[in-house]
């Protein structure tokens, strides 16, 4: 991960293998994969922005059984010792929905072009592929505050919408989501006291710039604030600076995480 102050909480169950059972383009730049399998009976479902390391198969014979069950520094070093030919590529993703009754888990991928591994792989609609999931817990770790503000770009849309879905219904505040294309908006289940702002990025703008500008224009928040900011690195760090330097929030009231880094 690029820049972040989130704490990782591993589940005890290690790598969970599952199969892609459904793959569809849900909007111009998002593919939803549904993975399913008996091992998901052990999935520690936390809701909110729960995320995991996704082991993506990149070749025939990719193995998941020799991965470390905790993807911390030791797990990463162990990963590096595995034969390249059969080791998966690891990327970070958010649980969009988990359905314990059918042991199905949805993942929404930004399809961001031909670069990289996970995005193009999801874009190939890989039904039948095996994947591995290593639970990493929730980044969202609120402190008690009068207002809650969530800020993200496309990559954090699953996180922001998951948090909104699971927030106490009396939560007040704002959620800002920057998109390159408003056609990527999704249905939102949010508390009535949250103002949702869909912000469109102009093609000439750096990722995150429009969301940061919008954030600066918001009126003073009622009382204290807890903020969660995720997405392109500069959006995450820029939002954190804004809350701390311009809104007077204690550093501990801001959770931020760079989800990807613009080239």
Binding region for ligand FAD (CB under 6 A): 1, 51, 91-94, 108-110, 112, 115-119, 139, 154-155, 158, 257, 259-263
Between 182 and 195, name the residue whose CB sits nearer to ligand FAD.
Answer: 182
CA 153 to chain centre: 10
Write the DSSP assignment of 137-194 as a string of letters: E-S------SEEEEEE-GGGHHHHHHHHHHS-TT--EEEEEEES-GGG-------TTE
Question: Cβ of residue 199: shortest distance to ligand FAD, in angstroms?
Answer: 16
Give the containing element (helix H, strand E) for 256. strand 254-260
Question: Cβ of residue 108: shortest distance to ligand FAD, in angstroms?
Answer: 6
Between 91 and 247, name the residue whose CB sits nearer to ligand FAD.
Answer: 91
Between 112 and 165, name the residue whose CB sits nearer to ligand FAD.
Answer: 112
- CB-based closest residue to ligand FAD: 116
Question: Cβ of residue 65: shortest distance to ligand FAD, in angstroms?
Answer: 22
CA 151 to chain centre: 12
CA 22 to chain centre: 20
Question: Cβ of residue 262: shortest distance to ligand FAD, in angstroms?
Answer: 5
- Give me the sign of the Cα torsion angle 90, 183, 151, 157: negative
DSSP code of residue 244: I
Question: Cβ of residue 75: shortest distance to ligand FAD, in angstroms?
Answer: 16
C-alpha angle 210-48-109 in degrees, rounded to nearest 5: 60
Between 32 and 247, name the residue whose CB sits nearer to ligand FAD.
Answer: 32
Looking only at the bridges linking them, the beta strands covering 16-27 and 225-232 are unpaired
Question: Cβ of residue 235: shortest distance to ligand FAD, in angstroms?
Answer: 11
Between 48 and 221, name the residue whose CB sits nearer to ligand FAD.
Answer: 48
Between 228 and 260, name the residue whose CB sits nearer to ligand FAD.
Answer: 260
Reduce the DSSP state of residue 240 to 3 states and report it: helix
């Amino acid at each position: 991960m690029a820049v972040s102050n989130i704490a990782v909480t591993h589940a005890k169950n290690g790598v969970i293998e599952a199969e892609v059972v459904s793959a569809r383009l849900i909007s111009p730049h998002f593919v939803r994969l549904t993975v399913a399998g008996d091992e998901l009976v052990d999935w520690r479902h936390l809701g909110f922005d729960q995320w995991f390391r996704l082991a993506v198969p990149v070749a025939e014979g990719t193995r998941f059984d020799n991965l470390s069950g905790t993807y911390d520094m030791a797990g990463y070093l162990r990963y590096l010792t595995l034969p390249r030919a059969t080791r998966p590529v690891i990327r970070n993703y958010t649980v969009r929905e988990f359905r314990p009754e059918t042991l199905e888990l949805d993942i929404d991928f930004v399809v961001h072009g031909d670069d990289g591994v996970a995005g193009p792989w999801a874009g190939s609609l890989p039904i039948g592929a095996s994947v591995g999931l290593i639970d990493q817990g929730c980044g969202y770790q609120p402190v008690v505050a009068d207002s809650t503000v969530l800020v993200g770009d496309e990559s954090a849309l699953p996180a922001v919408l998951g948090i909104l879905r699971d927030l106490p219904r009396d939560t007040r505040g704002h959620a800002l989501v920057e998109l390159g294309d408003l056609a990527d908006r999704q249905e939102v289940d949010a508390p009535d006291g949250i103002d949702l702002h869909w912000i469109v990025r102009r093609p000439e703008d750096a990722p995150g710039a429009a969301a940061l500008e919008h954030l600066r224009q918001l009126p003073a928040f009622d009382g204290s604030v807890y903020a969660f900011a995720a997405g392109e690195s500069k959006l995450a760090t820029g939002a954190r600076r804004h809350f701390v330097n311009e809104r007077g929030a204690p550093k501990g009231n801001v959770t931020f995480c760079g989800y990807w880094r613009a080239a």
